[in-house]
Amino acid sequence: MGKRKEIKINSTEFGDLLNVSQQTASRRIQNLEEMNWITRSIEGKQQKIEITELGTEIMLNMYRTLKKILDTILIAGEVSEGIGEGGYYVAIKGYYEQFKEKLGFEPYIGTLNLDLDVINNSLLREKLNDMRFIKINGFKDENRNYGDVKCHHCYVFPLKDKENKVKAAILNIDRTHHGKNIVEILAQPYLRDYFNLKDGDKVIIELIHDDKN
């Protein structure tokens, strides 16, 4: 080993592996050879198959591409009116300083609220649970306790202007606060003006994952 690997397999076994007939399996092997993804040496009853460098490259690239597609989750939402719970938090000094430091930008005082449909909401919650989060620590002042806030890096951009991505953060706030499928976005600019958004406009959230899982 430590080199290109030689496989001994006949078309029947290969067919069983792929759940197709011997004939189809044979044809597949021929096709792979025509595409130069493998080389063969047939010696009577023995067929030795070796994956070429091209074949290796293509397999790895397929893998990477598929993985990238599945990892790059885009969530679509519609701009929703009002200031959410999150918008209130941003203004509080105890939080603001942490947002500034941990997110790497000075957030606009207020959040952009996006209304998600059921599918996008499910996907987003599932992804967020699987991702590392940035923890904004809770604290207390003379009046009350402020809890921890989780957030996640992301990009946002209007559906109509995919080239113009803005670095932002999702506030992962317990949604029971608004009861609806709303997600709040924090960013440096005032996004409504920056993107010229109106209520109901479609905005895309692109989750950023640092890929150190």
Partner DNA sequence: ATTACTATGTACCGAGTAG
Partner DNA sequence: TCTACTCGGTACATAGTAA
Q: Which residues bind a copy of itself (CB under 8 A)?
A: 1-5, 51, 56, 59-60, 63, 66-67, 70, 77-78, 80, 115-119, 121-123, 126, 130-132, 180-182, 209-213
Asked if 3 touches DNA (CB under 7 A), the answer is: no
Q: Which one of a copy of itself, DNA, none interacts with residue 27, CB within 5 to 8 A by kind?
A: DNA
DSSP state of 107: -
The rounded distance, in Å, linking the Cα atoms of 39 and 18 is: 19
Q: Which one of DNA, a copy of itself, none interacts with residue 177, CB within 5 to 8 A by kind?
A: none
Among 5, 16, 17, 23, binds DNA (CB under 7 A): 23
Asked if 7 touches DNA (CB under 7 A), the answer is: no
Asked if 45 touches DNA (CB under 7 A), the answer is: yes
191 bridge partner residues? none
Q: Which one of DNA, a copy of itself, none interacts with residue 110, CB within 5 to 8 A by kind?
A: none
Which tokens belong to 30?
A: 């021929």
Helix, coil or strand: residue 190: coil
Which tokens belong to 16?
A: 């069983």
Site string for DNA, 148-187 (x = CB under 7 A): ----------------------------------------
Q: Which stretch binds DNA (CB under 7 A): 22-30, 68-76, 124-132, 146-154?
A: 22-30
φ/ψ of residue 180, rounded to 5: -100, 175
Angle between helices 11-18 and 22-34 (to 10 degrees): 100
Handedness of CA 132, 122, 157, 200 (dihedral sign): negative
Q: Which residue has the tokens 């976005």?
A: 185
Q: Which one of DNA, a copy of itself, none interacts with residue 59, CB within 5 to 8 A by kind?
A: a copy of itself
Closest CA to 10 of 22, 24, 28: 22
User: How many C-beta atoms surround the C-beta of residue 123 within 10 A?
Assistant: 16
Among 4, 5, 7, 27, binds DNA (CB under 7 A): 27
Amino acid identity, position 134: I
Q: Binding residues for DNA, per CB under 7 A?
A: 10-12, 15, 20-24, 26-30, 42, 45, 47
